[in-house]
């Protein structure tokens, strides 16, 4: 009986391998690219839409016949929002899966951890995190690119708008996380260039429930505007407190404000809040001939149809990263060095979800403050400010 | 000057009321079992999220939603006790505390699956403008939080001092064996304490969500701050937990206001350390009382 069982298993295995072989012979070899996203852990609000976007694009591209006939295979690894895990995942992708390029990670810390590894492996990385050090100095970031806009670009968009409004004194309030600290630094660094004085510099923790104290201090400091820099519930609480205090000065939010959910949560309190937002969240308000409009519309509608939620700016970063690599693969084939060179020199006036990219040997992000629109909340909806 | 001071004070009261309610939750279970239930913060989250579910998702009227939330939170408390504490053959204190940690992790996971990662909110109990006192504003919901907190304390005080069940629960903590000999059903009392503390936690969650929003992973922060409040006032003393909660809240707010907002968490914790150094039993527990405690 035992013998018969073993023979049966052998036959099945044999048949299965022949079958697999036949199938493989039919299609061309797949192009493998890796993705390291913070699907779980504290940064999962970034990793989840990124993962969804990757899965959706893989399906769409393969349905349309793949890349020059080669199916696209995106191997997604979860970093659990942890630097060590990000390094392990990247090593696994490079050594076991032999991927042609990696997209992600979701956070600046994880991306920084991968810089030396990617440089050693001579494999391109397109990060989905915003921190400026990811791609600067460019000389030491030969293989590294990123798609999210610089924090400084968002700050410049705000300061530029304030200058037009004649505001020169601001109070800033930032969350004590990587995102808030990076924003705080950018706010301080850019202030002199726009003739802005920071009269108060306040902070709060990611789980704090009331920021009235900080806002009262900002008001007492003589600021003519408040800038809040955070993601998560903090920005809604600040908005509610700002509205309850009737501060009489405008509230500006960072580019982290770009989710309809925030307007829903803050309700009437959100009226009048101004923020620099990527065009992804206001695509329906763009003029038809805007180069980003068509792709934003398709991406947003496809995503919403598939996942019953908005992709948000973060899903868009993954979209841009993947599409850049896909285009490079289409043009130059599976060669790591050529992919890198293509992205650095040929991604020009390239419309993505984050803006219109202009990569160059001096700039591995390719976006500036023009990637943002200043958007105000009006009647529970976004409105682009001129 | 007065306006600014008052504003800092009100902000501190808002924050402190939350800590106080969590602190009381710790005390209920501690008072009847001598264990520290580190899943207390999750009870608060459950209250807030369930209230959202019943009032916003199912669109139940306000009082029905409150009732449903309280009943289901109580059920959660009951299930936790029956599934994790009851089956223990040798109820060792340390073991039980570890169990509550794992319960908190499991609850967080379940909440994440049910509600996702985004924050939730529903309208405050009474709509309307914030109240203006000498130029400082206090949100109406804050007044609700404070008065409901005080109401809970009075009810709990009466329950523990005036009813047989309450006294039996206290007896279980002091000496379970003696309580059993005196005819107290210890197991039932432990179960009751979990139900009660889940309900008190849920009340906290229901009242603070309109102010602070609620998301699945807010629990640990609430547990830590509430635990500080309970320790500061002296574990076991509800009056102590409330005063401890308000002291920490006001200290945080004053530090943020007059020193720097980056330092607020540090200062509150330093004060807590000082109290532990010089009066380790807490403000409201005398030394002889604390010697009767297991820890």
CATH top class, domain A151-284+372-384: alpha beta
Distance from chain centroid for Cα B169: 18
Sheet containing strand A169-175, edge to edge, reads A197-204, A169-175, A225-229, A251-253, A274-278, A372-378, A381-384
In a domain, B133, yes or no: no
Q: Which of residues 208-247 of B touch A (CB under 8 A)?
A: 208, 211-213, 215, 217-218, 221
**d(CA A45, nearest CA chain B) in Å:** 7
For B150-161, the pLDDT digits (tens) are 898 889 889 988
Residue B147 neighbours by CB distance under 10 Å? 12
By the 8 A CB rule, do A265 and A276 touch?
no
Alpha helices by DSSP H, listed for chain B, are 2-33, 40-52, 62-80, 93-115, 140-162, 164-174, 176-181, 186-212, 219-233, 238-254, 264-278, 287-291
For residues B211 and B229, give the distance between their C-alpha atoms in angstroms, rounded to a whole number.
20
Tell me the backbone φ, ψ of residue A335, rounded to 5 degrees: -130, 115
Which of B19, B118, B258 is most worth mutating to test chain A (most A CB atoms within 10 A of its CB)? B118
CB contact under 8 A, B213 and A203: no
For residues A279 and A285, give the distance between their C-alpha atoms in angstroms, rounded to a whole number.
9
For residues B209 and B213, give the distance between their C-alpha atoms in angstroms, rounded to a whole number.
5
> pLDDT-derived band of residue B275, with 50, 70 and 90 as boundaries?
confident
For B225-250, the pLDDT digits (tens) are 898 888 888 888 888 888 999 999 99
* A172 to A225, B64, B207: CA distances (angstroms): 8, 42, 30
Partner B contacted by A262 (CB < 8 A): no
Residue A359 neighbours by CB distance under 10 Å? 21
**d(CA A256, nearest CA chain B) in Å:** 14
**d(CA A220, nearest CA chain B) in Å:** 8
- Do A31-150+293-368 and A151-284+372-384 have matching folds? yes
Domain ranges of chain A: 31-150+293-368, 151-284+372-384
Please state the rounded mean pLDDT for residues A315-324: 93
**Residue A25 confidence (pLDDT):** 47
For A44-94, the pLDDT digits (tens) are 888 889 999 999 999 999 999 889 889 999 999 999 888 899 999 999 999
**d(CA A211, nearest CA chain B) in Å:** 8
In a domain, B249, yes or no: yes
Please state the rounded mean pLDDT for residues B140-153: 89
Which of A213, A247, A270 is most worth mutating to test chain B (most B CB atoms within 10 A of its CB)? A213
**Residue B135 confidence (pLDDT):** 82
For B162-220, the pLDDT digits (tens) are 999 988 988 887 788 888 898 888 889 889 999 999 999 999 999 999 988 999 988 98
Instruction: Indicate whether B7 pLDDT > 60.
Output: yes
Domain with B157, as residue range(s), is: 2-128+140-291
In a domain, B206, yes or no: yes
Percent of chain A with pLDDT over 70: 93
For A332-353, the pLDDT digits (tens) are 989 999 999 999 998 999 999 9
For residues A186 and A154, give the distance between their C-alpha atoms in angstroms, rounded to a whole number.
9
Q: Which of A31, A139, A21, A123 is nearest to A75 (CA)?
A: A31
Residues B133, B139, B143, B148: what is their CA dihedral angle, to the nearest 10 degrees? Answer: -170
For residues B196 and B201, give the distance between their C-alpha atoms in angstroms, rounded to a whole number.
9
- Take residue B151 and report the two structure tokens written for it: 């109401």
For B88-119, the pLDDT digits (tens) are 877 788 888 889 999 999 999 999 889 988 88
> pLDDT-derived band of residue B290, with 50, 70 and 90 as boundaries?
low
Whether the complex's predicted ipTM surpasses the cut of 0.95:
no
- Take residue B253 and report the two structure tokens written for it: 């707010």
Instruction: Indicate whether A323 pLDDT > 90.
Output: yes
- Crossing angle, helix B40-52 and helix B186-212, to 10 degrees? 60
For residues A89 and A35, give the distance between their C-alpha atoms in angstroms, rounded to a whole number.
9
Partners of A375 in the β-ladder: A275, A384
Partner B contacted by A175 (CB < 8 A): no
Residue B277 neighbours by CB distance under 10 Å? 8
**Residue B283 confidence (pLDDT):** 74
> pLDDT-derived band of residue A10, with 50, 70 and 90 as boundaries?
low
Range name among A186-200, B1-15, B50-64 with the lowest pLDDT average: B1-15
The Cα angle at residue A193 between residues A192 and A199, in degrees rounded to 5: 30
For residues B37 and B230, give the distance between their C-alpha atoms in angstroms, rounded to a whole number.
12
**Which residue among B139, B213, B256 places its CB closest to the CB of A213?**
B256
Give B-chain residues touching A204 at CB under 8 angstroms. 256, 261
Give A-chain residues touching B119 at CB under 8 angstroms. 232-233, 236, 265
Q: Which of residues 79-138 of B touch A (CB under 8 A)?
A: 117-121, 123, 130, 137
> pLDDT-derived band of residue B291, with 50, 70 and 90 as boundaries?
low
b/e B106-123 (16+ beta carbons within 10 angstroms → b): ebbeebeeebeebbbbbe
Which of B140, B211, B256 is most worth mutating to test chain A (most A CB atoms within 10 A of its CB)? B256
**Residue B284 confidence (pLDDT):** 73
CB pairs A-B closer than 8 Å: 81
DSSP string, A228-281: EE--SHHHHHHHHHHHHHT-SS-EEE-GGG--HHHHHHHGGGGTT-EEEEEGGG
CB contact under 8 A, B117 and A233: no
As for how many domains chain B has, the answer is 1
Tell me the backbone φ, ψ of residue A70, rounded to 5 degrees: -90, 130
Residue with tokens 């996380």: A177
> pLDDT-derived band of residue B276, with 50, 70 and 90 as boundaries?
confident
Tell me the backbone φ, ψ of residue B283, rounded to 5 degrees: -70, -35
Q: Which of residues 39-58 of A touch B (CB under 8 A)?
A: 42, 44-45, 48
CB contact under 8 A, A261 and B118: yes
For residues B51 and A199, give the distance between their C-alpha atoms in angstroms, rounded to a whole number.
41
CATH number for the domain whose boundaries are A31-150+293-368? 3.40.50.2300
| Parallel/antiparallel/unpaired status of strands A225-229 and A197-204 | unpaired
Partner B contacted by A71 (CB < 8 A): no
Percent of chain B with pLDDT over 90: 36
For A234-264, the pLDDT digits (tens) are 999 999 999 988 889 999 999 889 888 889 8
CB contact under 8 A, B212 and A204: no
CB contact under 8 A, B14 and A212: yes
Please state the rounded mean pLDDT for residues B6-13: 90
CB contact under 8 A, A203 and B262: yes
For residues B205 and A233, give the distance between their C-alpha atoms in angstroms, rounded to a whole number.
16
Q: Which of B97, B238, B80 is nearest to B159 (CA)?
A: B238
**Residue A21 confidence (pLDDT):** 54
Q: What is the CATH number of the domain that holds B158?
A: 1.10.3470
Using a 10 angstrom Cβ sphere, with 0-12 exposed, 13-18 middle and 19 or more buried, the burial of residue A345 is exposed
């Amino acid at each position: 009986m035992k013998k018969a069982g073993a023979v049966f298993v052998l036959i099945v295995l044999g048949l299965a391998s022949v079958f697999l072989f036949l199938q493989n012979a039919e299609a061309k070899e797949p192009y493998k690219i890796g993705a390291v996203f913070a699907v779980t852990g504290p940064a999962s609000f970034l990793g989840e839409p990124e993962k969804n976007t990757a899965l959706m694009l893989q399906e769409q591209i393969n349905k349309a016949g793949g890349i020059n006939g080669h199916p696209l295979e995106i191997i997604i690894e979860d970093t659990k929002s942890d630097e060590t895990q990000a390094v392990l995942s990247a090593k696994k992708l490079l050594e076991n899966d032999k991927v042609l390029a990696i997209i992600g990670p979701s956070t600046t810390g994880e991306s920084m951890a991968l810089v030396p590894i990617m440089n050693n492996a001579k494999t391109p990385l397109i990060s989905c995190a915003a921190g400026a050090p990811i791609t600067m100095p460019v000389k030491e970031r030969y293989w590294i690119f990123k798609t999210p806009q610089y924090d400084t670009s968002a700050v410049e968009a705000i300061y530029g708008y304030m200058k037009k409004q004649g505001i020169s004194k601001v109070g800033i309030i930032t969350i004590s996380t990587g995102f808030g600290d990076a924003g705080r630094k950018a706010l301080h660094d850019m202030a002199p260039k726009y003739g802005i004085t920071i009269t108060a510099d306040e902070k709060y923790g990611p789980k704090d429930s009331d920021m009235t104290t900080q806002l009262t201090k900002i008001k007492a400091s003589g600021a003519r505007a408040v800038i809040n820099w955070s993601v998560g519930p903090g920005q809604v609480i600040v908005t509610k407190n700002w509205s309850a205090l009737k501060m009489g000065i405008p509230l500006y939010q960072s580019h982290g404000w770009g989710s309809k959910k925030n307007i829903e949560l803050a309700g009437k309190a959100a009226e009048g809040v101004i923020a620099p937002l990527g065009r992804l969240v206001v695509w329906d308000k763009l003029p038809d001939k805007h180069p980003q409009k068509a792709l934003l519309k398709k991406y947003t509608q496809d995503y919403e149809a598939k996942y019953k939620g908005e992709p948000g700016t973060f899903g868009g970063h993954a979209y841009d990263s993947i599409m850049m690599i896909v285009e490079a693969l289409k043009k130059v084939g599976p060669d790591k060095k050529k992919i890198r060179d293509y992205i650095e020199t040929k991604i020009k006036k390239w419309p993505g979800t984050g803006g219109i990219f202009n990569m160059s040997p001096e700039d591995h992000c390719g976006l500036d403050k023009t990637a943002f629109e200043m958007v105000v909340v009006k009647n529970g909806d976004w409105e682009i400010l001129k | 000057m007065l306006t600014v001071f008052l504003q800092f004070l009100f902000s501190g009261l808002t924050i402190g009321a939350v800590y106080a309610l969590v602190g009381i939750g710790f005390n209920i279970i501690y008072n009847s079992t001598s264990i520290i239930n580190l899943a207390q913060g999750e009870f608060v989250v459950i209250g807030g999220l369930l209230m959202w579910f019943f009032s916003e998702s199912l669109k139940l009227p306000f009082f029905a939603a409150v009732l449903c939330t309280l009943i289901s939170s109580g059920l959660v408390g009951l299930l936790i006790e029956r599934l994790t504490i009851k089956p223990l053959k040798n109820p060792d204190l340390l073991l039980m505390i570890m169990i509550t940690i794992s319960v908190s992790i499991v609850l967080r996971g379940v909440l994440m699956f049910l509600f996702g990662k985004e924050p939730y909110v529903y309208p405050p109990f009474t709509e309307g403008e914030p109240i203006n006192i000498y130029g400082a504003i206090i949100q109406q919901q804050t007044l609700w939080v404070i008065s409901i907190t005080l109401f809970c304390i009075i009810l709990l005080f009466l329950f523990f001092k005036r009813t047989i069940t309450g006294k039996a629960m206290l007896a279980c903590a002091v000496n379970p064996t003696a309580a059993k000999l005196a005819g107290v059903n210890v197991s039932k009392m432990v179960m009751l304490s979990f139900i009660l503390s889940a309900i008190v936690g849920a009340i906290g969650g229901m009242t603070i969500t309109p102010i602070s929003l609620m998301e699945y992973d807010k629990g640990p922060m609430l547990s830590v701050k509430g635990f500080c409040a309970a320790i500061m006032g002296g574990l076991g003393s509800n009056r102590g937990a409330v005063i401890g909660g308000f002291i920490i809240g006001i200290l945080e707010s004053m530090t943020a206001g007059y020193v720097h907002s980056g330092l607020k968490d540090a200062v509150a914790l330093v004060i807590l350390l000082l109290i532990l150094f010089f009066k380790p039993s807490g403000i409201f527990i005398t030394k002889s009382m604390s010697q009767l405690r297991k820890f």
